[in-house]
Each structure stands twice: as C-alpha cells, then as structure tokens.
Amino acid sequence: MKRRNFLQKSAQTGALLTLGGLLPNAILAMPYACNTVNADIFFKLSLAEWSFHRAIKSGEMDHLDFAAKAQSFGCTGVEYVSNLFKTKAKDKEYLKQMNSRAADAGVENVLIMIGGEGGLAHLDTKERLKSIEKHYKWVDAAHFLGCKTIRVDLRGGADKKEAAKASIDSLTVLATYAKEANINVVVENHGGFSSDGVWLSNVIKQVGLTNCGTLPDFGNFCIEKDKNKKCLSSYDMYKGMAELLPFAKGVSAKSRDFAADGTEVNIDFYKIMKLVKESGYTGFVGIEYEGTLLSEEEGVQKTKDLLLKVAKQL
C-alpha cells in the first residue's frame, strides 16, 4: 500500500474508533427507537400509517411526513393507508412527493392498505365490479410508488358460501390486473368471514394466483360485533395466524394495551412471532398501534420494543 493511502486509511479508522466511543451515548439520548440495532432479527420492520391516523386526521401531522416518522423509529419500510390520502391516488405530482419523502428518509414504500372502496364479497355482481374498478387506481398508485402490495378487505357478504364464491371471483380479477404491474393483492383478516382462518385460507387457495395472499393481523379475529362494536364472537388468534401464515406476503403486528412489564395485555407476541418464524416468513412485519391509553408515539415505541424483545428470544 502506498504511504498516502496508508495514512488515509489510518485516519479513517481512527475517526471510526472515535465515533464508536461516542455513538452509544448519542443514540441512547435520542427519544425513540433509533437506539436499537435490528440486524439480529429474522424479519424487517415497517410502520403502518394507521398507527398515526388520529394525528393525521386531526391535522397535527401531515401524511407527507409519515416516511420521516417511520425512519425516526428505526423502521425501514412504510405501509400507507388509502383513506389518509384518498383524493390523491391519481395525483402524480403528489405521489412524486411521497416518493421523494420516502427516498429522503431512506425507507421503502411497502404497501397501501385499501379501505372504503366497496365490497369485494358483495353478492350483487354489478356492485362488486364497481368495487373492483375502484381498486384499480390504487394498484396503479402502488406501482408508481414502488410498493409491492395492496391490502384489500372482503366485505359485503351475508352468506358464508356465497361470500367465498364472490370473493374468489373478485380477487381473481383484481390480482390478474395487479399482476401486470407486479403488485401483490393481499387480504387481511379484518372482521366477518375474513377473520375465519379456514374460510380465508380456502379462498386464497381457490384463487390460486401467486400474487394473491394474506396479511395476517395479530388482533383482528373478531367474527361478529354488536351495534356498539363490542365483539360478540371471535376466532382463535393463534389458530388463525397459523392458518394464514402459509399465504402471507406481509404481517401486521397489532397492539392496543400494554401491561407494566411491556407485554401486550391480550396478545401473546412471543407465541405469535414463534409461529411467524416457524412459517419461514422473513419479510416486513408492520407495527400497528391501535390503542388509546398511550400516545401514538408511545404505543408505536412499546410495540417495537416488544417485537424486538420476543424476536431476540426466538
């Protein structure tokens, strides 16, 4: 090595050693999760925008600032919610801004969660076709943003068998359209029949397309609610997760309430993440805090801390 190169290398090494002594204290002084190294976990971390839906809906936070917010928690992926920028699906200039913000934050646009676009399980064919067509613009937006996936709901069905047939038809048409843009169409267990693991896994099997799968959510296994949205009947979440994970193209780590020791009150994160690991899934796990007892920032932080804790135990 030439003397000049040797001196340059020595100076760089010395600088790194100096920074190495300073970085731990500097990182620990930061308020949120940039203080955690994630290299030793078996999945990637993303942040679901729904975690900040109250702040965005109230105007306290701008949708365009979400990518930077995700980065501040040490997440490398972002999961958008269509209802939080619902008038912008075809606005290319706005979508360019989203791409720019994500690039500036160094995060990956992972998926868009679609809501409010009609019932894909509706028995009325005309209504279903309208719903399918409303989803097309979000496939196009996802493609423009570089997302790999859109999440859809199977709503509108009243009879279990008929809803399955309608869902299969809708997903086949939508996934066929999305395949041309290299976009996955995934169904979340999101209430009703979709929260039945056997029912939903059978629907996905019947569709039989490689870009159609599931987005298993830890906390959405309520089958029926009353008029006050209190759950009347629910599906076993651990059984449901095990049934949906073979088709997973994303995983949603839902949380609501935490005990003093940092565990989720109603969800055994260790048990579920063990199922996730055993399934061979290594993609993004999205942090989705939906509680009200903590601030949105505190809830996201506690969810991340718990995810990393159980992941390292595994």
19-36 burial, b at 16+ Cβ within 10 Å, e below that, comes to eeeeeeeeeeeeeebeee
pLDDT category of residue 228 using cuts at 50, 70 and 90: confident
pLDDT computed for residue 17 by the predictor: 37
pLDDT category of residue 225 using cuts at 50, 70 and 90: confident
pLDDT computed for residue 12 by the predictor: 43
Residue 159 included in any domain: yes
What are 284-308's pLDDT values in tens digits?
A: 999 999 999 999 999 999 999 999 9
% of residues, the chain, pLDDT over 70: 88
What are 97-115's pLDDT values in tens digits?
A: 999 999 999 999 999 999 9
Residue 1 predicted with pLDDT over 70: no
pLDDT computed for residue 38 by the predictor: 59
pLDDT category of residue 24 using cuts at 50, 70 and 90: very low
Across the chain, mean pLDDT equals 90
Here the CATH number for the domain that contains residue 252 is 3.20.20.150
Residue 31 included in any domain: no
Domain count, the chain: 1
The answer to whether the beta carbons of residues 282 and 314 sit under 8 Å apart is no
Residue 167 included in any domain: yes
Residue 9 included in any domain: no
Residue 13 predicted with pLDDT over 50: no
Residue 30 included in any domain: no
Query: Which domain, by its residues, includes 63?
Result: 42-313
What are 177-204's pLDDT values in tens digits?
A: 999 999 999 999 999 999 999 999 999 9
Burial class (CB in 10 A: 0-12, 13-18, 19+), 176: middle
Residue 108 included in any domain: yes
Residue 39 predicted with pLDDT over 80: no
Residue 61 included in any domain: yes
pTM given for the model = 0.87
Residue 176 included in any domain: yes
